[in-house]
Structure 1
Amino acid sequence: MSLLPRLLPLVVVSLFPVSPLFADPVADRYRKATATVAPRLVRIDTVGGFEQVDGALTNEGATTGLLLDEQGHVITSAFNFLHDPSTILIRFADGTKQVGRRIATDYNRMLALLKVGTVPESTHAVPLAAVPKTAFQPGRTVIALGRALSPDEPNLAVGILSGTDRIWGKAIQTDAAVGPNNYGGPLIDLDGRVLGILVPLSMTSTALTAGDEMYDGGVGMAVPLEDLQTIVFPKLSAGKDVYSGETGFSFTENGIFIGAPVLSDVLEGGPGDKAGLKKGDRITKLGAAPVQTAMQVVCHFQLRYSGETTAVTFLRDGKEQTVSLTTEPPEALPKRERKSTGLPASTVTDRGSSAHF
């Protein structure tokens, strides 16, 4: 599937005054909300890098980012930098340009942190307000913003917040048009507050380009800004890439959603195996939190990063035991082929494919 820039059914909105003759209260509110965050909305152009990632053409067109602070940190979607460009040029709302550099990438939530040397003074007085996660209300009107279609004006797509706690709790969902042109841009409410950063994510795949196939399908994802500020930014600002935390065990495909937390496969040499877990063990607690379903286990580890340790309590032969499990990055897991599928054992079970994590 080509990942070349594609036109979204978006609108490029002028932030200049509109004649009363053509005034529209609804459009005016969209315009006002957009104007609130527009000074922090940046256009990102890249030069060089790989032509293909995961066998697909990479996105070399303009994309979007959001200025986080006066120190020059810009957050965007990792999708925009999978081709490892040699040059990053960031254009601010006032037309000034800065060469940026990538600080680090979060391959779990698919976010990239960039930095420029200086930022325009025009952005200093513009606060970045986040909508608290406790205030997320499905059905509320939201606006997906980008600055890729025009260097001078934001492009926007209007929709609703259609879901929370998506992608194992990592994202919120909107039916607004979301795609390569506004990946990395903010999802805002009608007061101009930011709910999250637009990214492609998938429930069924951890491939680098996963989620892009849902482009313009009424299923757009955004990582909550609150999570970005409290979890992601502290990790990325340290200057090291971070990855999802793999456990090396899995549940049967259907069991993930409706089944008991009984392990169907434990990869030899993987984190679960090193901790002492075995096929057939029933997980009863993660830390101090009781566990009743496989879904709870999956969500717990999907939200965490490689190198993090969890106390796992499980039942084996009628006796409860507790071990410490430290997750590892995907590349560190041993590979074991199965003749029936040709896939690594860490991605399959006796019933076929499963959501290994």
Structure 2
Amino acid sequence: MDASRARTRARLYLSLAAFVCSASLVAGCSFGSGASPAQDGTTTQAAPAAANDLQDDYLKVIKDVLPSVVQIRASGDLGSGVVYDDNGHIVTNAHVVGDEKTFKVTTANSEDEQTATLVYAYPQQDLAVIKLNKVPDGLKAASFGDSSKVEVGQIVLAMGSPLGLSSSVTQGIVSATGRTVSEGSTGGGTGATIANMVQTSAAINPGNSGGALVDLDGRVIGIPTLAATDPTLGGTAPGIGFAIPASMVTKVADQIIKDGRVTDSGRAALGITARTVVDDDYQAAGVAVVEVKSGGAADKAGIEPGDIITKIGDTGITTITSLAEALAAEKPGDKVAVTYTRDGSEKTVDVTLGEQ
């Protein structure tokens, strides 16, 4: 844990100490005045001081990072992006850029729109990089953190342009890590299944996509991408949002900037084209192989068109989405047992996974 995070956590503990006392220290707590006795007999206003320190941390992070968050306009759609380097590269979601090649970009410190051009979009991970045609004065690249160090419970800020309200900031915590989430292909989504996403309670609304999820050290730990959908109400579920982890963002962005495309996705694949099949009760019952890529993982293992995949390892496969989620948990080169049916007979074969 670095010193900055330790100080922030210490301040939170100090704030809590003003309200919670153990039995052995009850005599030393004064809930009425909010003050605590010091060794020299004076009192200190611990809770207000801690609150002010935490607020100062918020203000510093916003001042440092918000200039790196931009608004992106693609045709009639709005989204957000994060300045990636001093050369004018901006990372965002693939669903923000859609099929467009040119964009209007508004930076946080200027009302003037800049023009930008698509470098490359990678829908499989819902990431894209665009580049400003002219780098304006004062453009500031963001600092990206290490996703492996993200902890459940840490405070985060989401920055972007929700509903077109540019330079907006919301606050929450990291609710979970390591989530595998499939986004819809309707409503502008790419249909990607993304592993290791960061779940957050910070509000994520349309327009936040492609922006920044930031820790209190001022580092981008993720790119807000989507909010959970409430199947009962038909809308988004408040307080359940997901961000692509920073480590994946930098891996993909670095390749796009260097090579103009993604050369090492890190995403496992069977090397097939497939579709969901249903049983006699019209319930999803597996994934039928439509086409097998020559020389791919499935081809080498003897899987053929017409085979119906029902399991990856011990995980049941009923739909294309469940197959994608099972593969998202694996890496290229991993060996997995694939169970399928052929002409009514069940077979299981070991497959060394390829790369998507």
CA contact 1:67–1:74 (8 Å) conserved in 2 = yes
What is the aligned counterpart of 2:169 among 150, 156, 162? 156
Q: Tell me the equivalent position of 1:100.
A: 116
Q: What is the SS of the residue equivalent to 2:239?
A: coil
SS at match of 1:31: helix
Q: 1:120 to 1:280 in 2, by over 3 A?
A: closer
Match of 1:11 in 2: none
| Structure 1 position 146, deviation (Å) | 1.0
2:260 to 239, 252, 273: 239
Give the aligned residue type for 1:36. D
Aligned partners of 1:43 and 1:118: how far apart in 2?
A: 16
- 1:119 CA drift (Å): 2.3
Higher mean alpha-carbon deviation, 264-273 vs 173-182, is at 264-273
Q: CA deviation at 1:315?
A: 7.8
Deviation at 1:199, TM superposition (A): 0.8
What's the counterpart of residue 58 of structure 2?
A: 30
Residue 251 (structure 1) shift: 9.7
Opposite residue 106 of structure 2, the aligned amino acid is R
Q: How many residues align?
A: 264
Residues 1-357 of structure 1: pairs in structure 2 closer than 5 A: 25-47=53-75, 60-82=76-98, 84-85=99-100, 87-95=102-110, 97-123=113-139, 128-147=142-161, 149-150=164-165, 154-167=167-180, 169-200=195-226, 215=236, 217-235=238-256, 238-240=259-261, 245=269, 247-248=272-273, 264-271=286-293, 274-275=299-300, 276-277=302-303, 278-279=307-308, 292-293=314-315, 299=325, 301-302=327-328, 312=336, 322-323=350-351, 326=354
Structure 1 residue 46 displacement after superposition = 3.1
Cα contact 1:73–1:113 (8 A) shared by 2? yes
Amino acid in structure 2 at the alignment position of 1:136? V
> Which amino acid is 1:90 matched to?
V
Equivalent-residue separation in structure 2 for 1:138 and 1:199 (angstroms): 19
Distance 1:268 1:46 in 2: 35
2: distance between equivalents of 1:232 and 1:312? 29
Paired residue secondary structure (1:122): coil
CA distance in 2, matches of 1:320, 1:140: 43
For the 8 Å contact 2:70–2:108, the answer to whether it is kept is yes
Q: What secondary structure, in the 3-state scheme, does the structure 2 residue paired with 1:269 have?
A: strand
Task: After superposition, give the CA deviation of every residue in 1:34-85 in whole Å (9 maximum; x if it has no partner).
Answer: 11112211122233xxxxxxxxxxxx25431101011211011223223x34
What's the secondary structure of 2:66's corresponding residue?
Answer: helix
Cα distance, 1:159 vs structure 2: 1.0
TM-score using structure 1 length: 0.59
Change (3 A) 1:202 1:107: farther
Deviations 1:300-340 (A, max 9, x none): 623689xx776555589999855555567xxxxxxxxxxxx
CA distance in 1, matches of 2:308, 2:101: 46
Does the residue aligned with 1:191 lie in a helix, a strand or coil? coil
Pairwise CA RMSD: 4.2
Identity rate, percent: 23
Call closer, same or farther: CA 1:249–1:78 in 2, change over 3 Å. closer
Query: What do residues 109-142 of structure 1 show as CA deviations (whole Å, max 9, x unaligned)?
Result: 2122111133234235x5x333322211111111
Q: How far did residue 219 of structure 1 move?
A: 1.5
**Shift in Å at residue 92 of structure 1?**
2.2
Q: Quote the Cα distance in structure 2 between the aligned partners of 1:134 and 1:320.
A: 35
Unaligned runs of 5+ in 1: 1-22, 48-59, 205-212, 254-262, 284-290, 329-357
| In 2: Cα distance, 1:239 partner to 1:163 partner | 33
Query: Structure 1 residues 97, 304: closer, same or farther in 2, change over 3 A?
Result: farther
Q: CA deviation at 1:279?
A: 4.6
| Distance change in 2, residues 1:252/1:237 (3 Å) | farther
Structure number with higher strand proportion: 2
Normalising by structure 2, we get a TM-score of 0.59
**Partner letter of residue 150 of structure 2?**
F
Maintained 8 Å contact 1:177/1:217: yes
Contact 2:72 2:103 in 1 (8 A): yes
What code does the residue aligned with 1:139 have?
G
Mapped contact 1:248–1:273 kept (Cα < 8 A): no
